[in-house]
Amino acid sequence: DNYKALGDTVKCKEVLTAGFAKFPTNQSILVALINVYRESNEDPAKVLEILKVAQKNEPNNASLYYVEGNIYNELRQATKDDEVKAAEYLAKAVEAYDACEGVNPAYEFGHIGKGVMFYNYAIELQEKASNELDDKKWMELNKQFEEALKNALNPFESAFNLTKDESLKVSIAEYLKNIYYRFISNGPEFEEGYKKYNDIVASR
């Protein structure tokens, strides 16, 4: 932050790169590193080069693939005005999050990352639709919103079943409660899902 305030982006990147190499799962370092690349008009995807070295050194570390998913998700958000590029980053994020399961089937955070990404993507689409005056475009955005929200269901369900952390279960249940409620009129399975996760959240 000090180097950034002084306008020394080279030193800023050096410090953040060193920090990321030592603590690749630290989200605040990751976001700061991506932002400094963006602000200096350099390709933030270069952060992936650092991560690939870490993955090569620790191929059985599922958290490194979770971080890769987070990087692509950050890039997706940074380029969301470019629909083609944003879609490419979203697909790469899904691939990285899914890779977590291949490395460690008991690792819940790949599912959580994927679920949160699709949930937030759905919110973005919902906000975009709320500002759309063209009925045809609104219907298309609303359709995309519902698809993104449903895409978050399975990852969250998997994470809920995998995690042993009770507080994390409640946090995941909050997402699931909201999703099931949105589709409660679509059938009894959604009503049952809402009741199940609402009861879990209410009991904590």
- Reduce the DSSP state of residue 81 to 3 states and report it: coil
* pLDDT tier for residue 87 given thresholds of 50, 70 and 90: very high
Residue in the structure block whose two tokens are 């993104």 = 148
pLDDT at 101: 95
| Interacting residues of 23 by C-beta distance below 8 A, sequence separation 6+ | 29
Determine if residue 134 is left, alpha or beta; phi over 0 gives left, psi from -120 to 50 gives alpha, anything else beta. beta
Tokens of 127: 């906000």
pLDDT tens-place string over residues 141-178: 999 999 999 999 999 999 999 999 999 999 999 999 99
pTM (predicted TM-score):
0.83
For the segment 109-114, the average pLDDT, to the nearest whole number, is: 98
pLDDT at 57: 79
Distance in angstroms (rounded) separating the CA atoms of residues 68 and 146: 26
Distance in angstroms (rounded) separating the CA atoms of residues 142 and 144: 5
| Interacting residues of 82 by C-beta distance below 8 A, sequence separation 6+ | none
pLDDT tens-place string over residues 35-53: 788 788 777 677 788 788 7
- Reduce the DSSP state of residue 60 to 3 states and report it: coil
* 134 secondary structure, DSSP code: -
Q: Where are the beta strands (DSSP E) in 108-168?
A: none
pLDDT at 46: 77
Higher-confidence position of 105 and 36: 105
